[in-house]
Amino acid sequence: MVEAERFRLDGGAMFGVVPRPLWQRSHPADERHRIQMVTRCLVARGEGRLVLLDTGMGDDWSDKERDMYAIEDGQRALHGVLAAHGIDSADVTDVILTHLHFDHVGGAVRSHGGRAVPAFPNAVYHVQQEQLDWASRPSEKDRRSYRAPTFEPLQRAGVIRPVSGRAELLPGITVEPTQGHTMGHQIVRIGSGEDAVIYCGDLIPTAAHVPTPWVMAYDLQPLRTMEEKRALMARAAAAGEILVLEHDPSCEAVRVAAERDGWVAAERVTLGPPS
């Protein structure tokens, strides 16, 4: 697991209808009402493949935007972070994108000779077709979450391999669409049983979002998110699966347990840096 960068988003938008006194205990807001977030990307190796899950925000940000989102990217986005772990961008064979919001796909491209090109030159990029379609015509509600220069260069380069529905992309790595956050968002399951790791994307962005009604205001279909969380939690609690939290600044992953009429984060799990 690696952190591509730290940034901040509006706390109210991250917690939807949940009142601020409840969320600010675990996620204190700054003077601009923003809470600390991270972009946490997972690196998986095996059978000659080097697989990346999501790519963070990238480095194509103006000073004004860097201030607005309080972007801290000391190592110049994901490719810099990976290099610090001894991973060359050219060695990545597969990039699985949960969806195309800017804080998930931004690091998938980089500037080369004044032109945006795929940041992982030898990789194929796996995205749900439904998300590709939605990203090209987002609604007024969510269009600020998409930045065409972060995914159109991938389309132009012909490196996207669209996925439709549930699919085993590689041995032991399966994607499953969830629709509450945005159309064609996908979670990624690696392995099986107690060792299974579920990369939740924006279905469960932080440990505070484990309880069913704690749903982001960004979600297009919040009731659907709640249904999808119930199904995921029931399965994860029963099987002991590990849920990776992409945006939680202080908790990388959890195991969950049933409690009264819902679920709670029962055990913190650290997956550690890529080996």
Which residues of this chain interact with Zn ion, rule CB under 5 A?
Answer: 101, 202
Closest contact distance (angstroms) between CB of 64 and Zn ion is 22
Between CA 267 and CA 38 the distance in angstroms is 20
Closest contact distance (angstroms) between CB of 185 and Zn ion is 7
Q: Would you tell me how many other CB atoms lie within 10 Å of the CB of residue 39?
A: 26
The nearer residue to Zn ion, 3 or 202, going by C-beta atoms, is 202
Angle at the Cα of 217 from the Cα atoms of 216 and 219, rounded to 5 degrees = 75
The nearer residue to Zn ion, 101 or 126, going by C-beta atoms, is 101
Mapping DSSP to helix (H, G, I), strand (E, B) and coil, where does residue 14 land? Answer: helix
Closest contact distance (angstroms) between CB of 91 and Zn ion is 27
Q: Which residues contact 230 (CB under 8 A, 6 or more apart)?
A: 212
Closest contact distance (angstroms) between CB of 202 and Zn ion is 4
Closest contact distance (angstroms) between CB of 49 and Zn ion is 25
Between CA 192 and CA 244 the distance in angstroms is 15
Closest contact distance (angstroms) between CB of 105 and Zn ion is 10
Q: Which residue is nearest to Zn ion (CB)?
A: 101
Strands 253-259 and 242-244: antiparallel
User: DSSP H helical segments within the chain, as ranges?
Assistant: 11-15, 20-23, 63-68, 77-84, 102-105, 129-136, 152-157, 222-239
The nearer residue to Zn ion, 98 or 174, going by C-beta atoms, is 98
Strands 49-53 and 94-96: parallel
The nearer residue to Zn ion, 87 or 180, going by C-beta atoms, is 180
CA distances from 179 to 9, 106, 125, 271 (A): 22, 21, 20, 27
The nearer residue to Zn ion, 154 or 203, going by C-beta atoms, is 203
The nearer residue to Zn ion, 72 or 142, going by C-beta atoms, is 142
